[in-house]
Amino acid sequence: MTRGALLVCGTHSDAGKSLVTAGLCRWLARRGVSVAPFKSQNMALNSVVTAGGAEIGRAQAVQAAAAGVEAEAAMNPVLIKPSGERWGQVIVMGRPWRDADARSYQAMKAQLRPVVEDALADLRARYDVVVCEGAGSPAEINLRAGDLANMGLARAANVPVLLVGDIDRGGVFASLFGTLALLESADQALVAGYVINKFRGDPSILAPGLEDLAARSGRRVLGVLPFVEDLWIDAEDSLALEARAPEAPALADTLDVVVLRLRWMSNFTDLDALSAEPGVRVRFTRSPADLERADLVVVPGTKATVEDLARLRAAGLDRALRARAAAGAPILGVCGGLQMLGEAIDDGVESRAGPVEGLGLLPVRTVFQPDKLLRRRSGACGWLGGARSQTGYEIRHGRVTRHGGEPLLLGDDGEPDGCRVGWTLGTAWHGALEDDGLRRALLRAVAGARGRTFVAGTESFAARRERRLDVLGDLVEQHLDTDAVLALLESGAPAELPTIATEVRAVAALRHDG
């Protein structure tokens, strides 16, 4: 039986670590191997709530789905959620631990190291294989001393490493070789091979470079993954929005959904299910003119509600939202978006700004509490004919009270959620639109209000996600040297891998005394 662990690192953020990790999990699960994903330290604004009530990075939840297992806190023991330019909330084993800036977080790593190592050891005891994902780049030499996610983890657990480079960005050979060369010799000893991601073109032209890289570094490229159009996995932060394909022009019956691109936007994956529907175009924007023309405007979640509200006002988007509401044009606020649409926010927790005036478009008030509410939700929307959602979850410090309008949703526990006044809607539930019934009922209602036609797709969002995870598994199976991967899982990194020596001659040696 295959047993072991593997760490997937990247030459930089968004090199393809998350996709390769998910693909390996899917491929192994299809072979009958019990496999779990793991990311020791994750910085992300997109997160989910597990069945056990823990908050973890969204990418690890999707990787768990690829592996066919339930997501849990041990799969992402440390999650950092930025809540402003300098501060972030540190979440440990799924629960808020403390706030930190970059410098103070470095001092916390000694306390977090045993948590990370225990979580990995726990998973390795319960699963045949654990596929770990690194963070950023292992060559961030300024952070190596306290590293929890890359070579520090590999060394502590004696785990072989695959290094992923994105050839679509250019310079992939220098990135792979340079990353290896910057590592100290004991770290280099665990880097067992490379994966090149997003290749398009003639493989015969690439082949000489692969041979040269192997000759220079003593390590083979174990796979070249082709570029696949429109391939996605739930992203970790809004940087991934830059990599999305250019927007297609809207057709006559296309529903135009505009999302406010907030600086600290969180859980923007809430919109993935909307963009998966045929005849729906989802755009992220900061343009007031876009808000005026859109069929539906979404004010998404944010980890810095007060700061993003101030930025929204500075850009004139508050006036555009008020004009939409006055005209009866559809607006949907999600979590932080609901809070912004309300009358007032009292935040002594995240921004510590105290009372702040909201946009006044919904009769709700929000008071932030130190304890974070983390739970899954299900319920129905009476306004949309009882359309149900089984896929909602809440991640928030803000406690919202409604004193007018009507609730948007009613939870199965009898607790109402959100608020509706005409076509201005708000909910605290993330993920609710992943339920096909609720999403399609909302889109039909929007289309009716805007004089457009909406014809729902025939594939469920869950099936679409599963199909894409299968594509990742296929990429691994068809384009990686899977025998070599299995050997790494069984036996670890090969012995006596060569070290790339780097030497810097002292400047003083070039000087003369005079």
> Which sequence positions are flagged as catalytic?
335, 430
Torsion region of 351: left, alpha or beta (phi above 0 gives left; psi -120 to 50 gives alpha): alpha
* Assigned token pair, 252: 């006559």
The 8-class DSSP code of residue 430 comes to: B
Supply angle C-alpha 403, 406, 410, rounded to 5: 110
* Assigned token pair, 137: 């780049």
- As a whole number of angstroms, the distance between CA 15 and CA 433 comes to 29
Short-list 311, 310, 277, CA closest to 296: 277
- As a whole number of angstroms, the distance between CA 483 and CA 121 comes to 25
- As a whole number of angstroms, the distance between CA 305 and CA 311 comes to 10
CB 110 within 8 A of CB 18: no
- As a whole number of angstroms, the distance between CA 484 and CA 83 comes to 42
Short-list 176, 199, 180, CA closest to 190: 180
CB 165 within 8 A of CB 177: no
Neighbours of 241 (CB within 10 A): 13
DSSP 412-431: TTS-EE-EEETTEEEES-BS
**Phi, psi for 235 (deg, rounded to 5):** -75, 160
What amino acid is encoded at 333 in this protein?
Answer: G
Short-list 341, 396, 394, 401, CA closest to 366: 401
Q: How many helices (H) and strands (E) does the chain have?
A: 15, 26
CB 161 within 8 A of CB 9: yes
Task: Give the contacts of 265 (CB within 8 A, at least 6 positions apart).
Answer: 45, 238, 300, 301, 302, 308
* Assigned token pair, 1: 């039986």
- As a whole number of angstroms, the distance between CA 109 and CA 115 comes to 10
Torsion region of 422: left, alpha or beta (phi above 0 gives left; psi -120 to 50 gives alpha): left
